Amino acid sequence: MPTIVLSRIMCPVRAGVTILICSFTILTGWFLNISFHTSTYGSVAFSTAFGFVLLSICLINASKYKKLPHLSLSIKVIVALYCVVSLLQDYFYWKQGIDQFFYSGQSGILQNKHSLGGIPPITALLFIMVSIGMIGVTYIKKYVSIFQYFFHTVTFVCFIIIVGYLFKIPDLYTFYFKTVTSFYTSILFFFLSIGASLLSPSTGLTAVFTIHNTGNIIARRLFLQMVFAIVIITYLRFQVQQYNFISSDLSVGLMVIAFVITSMFFTLKASKRLNDAELRRNIAEERFKLVVESAPNALIMSDSSGRITLVNLRGENLFGYTREELIGQKIEVLIPKKFREHHPKNRDSYHGAPVSRYFGAGAELHAVNKDGVEFPVEIGLNPIKNGAETGVLASIIDITERRKQEIQIKQQLIELKVKNQEMEQFSYIASHDLQEPLRTVSNYITLLREDYPEQLDDEVRAHLAMMDSAVSRMSMLVRSLLDFGRLGRDKTLSMTDCNACLSNVIADLNNLIVQNGATVVIENSLPLLNVYEIEFRQLLQNLINNAIKFRKETVPPVIKIGCTPKDGTYEFYIADNGIGIDKKYSKRIFQIFQRLHRSDEFEGHGIGLANCKKIVEMHGGSIWVESKPGEGSTFKFTISKL
């Protein structure tokens, strides 16, 4: 479809409103006996003005409101019939009084007005053509272009009449009729016929003025400029001749020269515009080619019959053909044999409703290269308008590598699943089977103690006590390992108010805080975050617990907690005034079972910070410590804002 542009001036509604206002003014003139409807340029008959009122209303309605179609049709038919009868009456010298409906002596409504004429024959003819044209373009769509020429004929006749009046050439406006069409009537018809032709803006000569193509734009400018120039030059020549400034021969000669110069000027201007447009089109084409050639995807354009019209470099590489080999071939050459037969049907259905479509990885599409090797592809289709023809631009991505990776990932996932199952089995073994021998050893120690109290000397008792504590420690380590493995297994994300979470942790640790005379200061409000709540709570608890545990004996613990937003994350800190940590241990302490102190100094199993690291990493964050021995430690961790 060509782009149609109806400018503010070239719009049926505006033409209709202008005619309506003018014809109303003329009617008012008739009623009030003011003669602005009459002059040396002829007068507009009452019936003519009334006809204009009716047809202009029909024009506005047809263009904008489209209401009461039957009434509108009837009005046009009545106007046409009235004019036909008036014409016949005039032609055959009937005296049926049809054109005296408004003004005949006794019965008319304007009895006392003078100079009221009936519709002149040429006016009646023009009314008939406009009314039939308007009926035709609305109801007989098949022949719109024929009816469009009714309007063009009216415009042309009016143009001749207007020129006749402007240059005072009666032959141009009287024809062979006695009663002539007035200058004003011609102008109103001129606008009415143009307005009516704009009801079908892409048909007939109107298309030259409405379609927004470079050729049309230049043609309409050239036409209007030339018409304007011709009228001005002819008018000047007419004036010059009328007042006898120069001889008639000289005035004709000057007119010819003026015509040639103006036509040359406008033609040069038009050719410059055309050249500019061509240059712009060439630049756009070059850019298009550049974009197509440098595209990372294979681009293949085909016409509605499926013939390839364009291939880019990536297309050549992907399919192994040169573009000369592909252009003109059917697109089916790039489709595996087993799908070729059905493809023309798919192609036709696409052309039936051409919209942008993307066939992603799930569509399981395959293409075939020159060597007959098939490969998986993703395809995006885009309809491309080329005048009346709609082509298709296919953007093709070879997803062979991606498929390989997907298969690899699938395999890795299966392996991971197997490993997880093994881990779970190990956990089971650790919790049941490993605990069992430990329990047996522990039971035998108790048996030895109870059954042989006499035989056991102090040294053996001490050895048994050592064994007992080693077994308990081993059992504790196995349990810790299990807990570490299980951590986050049933994790669920939820929007959590970190302030509430922290308050609960502090409440749980209340005994420890009171026993140690510790002070916990929350330095700023913590955010609302999407976290694994149970694990997040455990994280806070471990860090606060350590901050109290690793205190200086002489100084009561003071723990400061806060959080600051940083690069899409929240950075939490838990700072204490405890014993501090040497920088060289700052990584080691986060490994499982790594401790810096003996159990008799500070009890523990070296699992707390390993758990903290695992929890923070579950949230996509990181954890670290900033500390100096004797100067307290600040543990910091980040949690994503998501």
Return residues touching ligand ADP (CB under 6 A): 546-547, 550, 576, 578-581, 589, 595-597, 604-610, 633
Between 76 and 614, whose beta carbon lies closer to ligand ADP?
614
| Shortest Cβ 598–ligand ADP spacing (Å) | 10
Between 535 and 576, whose beta carbon lies closer to ligand ADP?
576
Between 60 and 607, whose beta carbon lies closer to ligand ADP?
607
Between 536 and 550, whose beta carbon lies closer to ligand ADP?
550
Which class for 43: exposed (0-12), middle (13-18), buried (19 or more C-beta within 10 A)?
buried
Other beta carbons less than 10 A from residue 184's beta carbon: 23
| Shortest Cβ 615–ligand ADP spacing (Å) | 12
Query: Which is nearest to 613 in space by CA: 591, 633, 628, 641?
Result: 591
Tokens coding 62: 């047809």
| Shortest Cβ 545–ligand ADP spacing (Å) | 8
| Shortest Cβ 574–ligand ADP spacing (Å) | 8
Distance CA(41)–CA(26), nearest Å, equals 14
Between 509 and 609, whose beta carbon lies closer to ligand ADP?
609
Between 104 and 586, whose beta carbon lies closer to ligand ADP?
586
| Shortest Cβ 608–ligand ADP spacing (Å) | 3
| Shortest Cβ 531–ligand ADP spacing (Å) | 20
| Shortest Cβ 562–ligand ADP spacing (Å) | 16
Between 307 and 605, whose beta carbon lies closer to ligand ADP?
605
Distance CA(151)–CA(425), nearest Å, equals 92
| Shortest Cβ 582–ligand ADP spacing (Å) | 10
Is residue 415 within 8 A of residue 441, CB to CB? The reply is no
| Shortest Cβ 441–ligand ADP spacing (Å) | 24
Using N-to-C axis directions, what is the helix angle for 144-166 and 214-242, rounded to 10°? 20
CA angle 470, 548, 563 (to 5 degrees): 125
| Shortest Cβ 616–ligand ADP spacing (Å) | 13
Helix (H) or strand (E) holding 543: helix 533-549
DSSP per position, 3-39: PB---SSS-HHHHHHHHHHHHHHHHHHHHHT--TTEE
Query: Which is nearest to 330 in space by CA: 304, 351, 354, 349?
Result: 304
Distance CA(485)–CA(487), nearest Å, equals 6
Tokens coding 513: 């805080």
Distance CA(531)–CA(528), nearest Å, equals 9
Round the CA-based radius of gyration of the chain to a whole number and report it. 49
Between 102 and 635, whose beta carbon lies closer to ligand ADP?
635
| Shortest Cβ 605–ligand ADP spacing (Å) | 5
Between 210 and 611, whose beta carbon lies closer to ligand ADP?
611
| Shortest Cβ 617–ligand ADP spacing (Å) | 15
Q: Residue 540, Cα to own-chain centre: how many angstroms? A: 47
* All residues at 6 or more sequence positions from 305 whose CB lies less than 8 Å from its CB, including other chains: none
Between 126 and 559, whose beta carbon lies closer to ligand ADP?
559
* All residues at 6 or more sequence positions from 605 whose CB lies less than 8 Å from its CB, including other chains: 476, 477, 480, 593, 595
Helix H segments across 301-342? 313-319, 323-326, 337-340
Residue nearest to ligand ADP (CB): 604
Between 201 and 606, whose beta carbon lies closer to ligand ADP?
606
- Give, as one character, the DSSP assignment of residue 211: B
Cβ density class 375-385: b for 16+ within 10 Å, e for less: ebbbbbbbbee
Between 16 and 578, whose beta carbon lies closer to ligand ADP?
578
Phi/psi for 105 (5° steps) reads -20, -70
Distance CA(490)–CA(534), nearest Å, equals 10
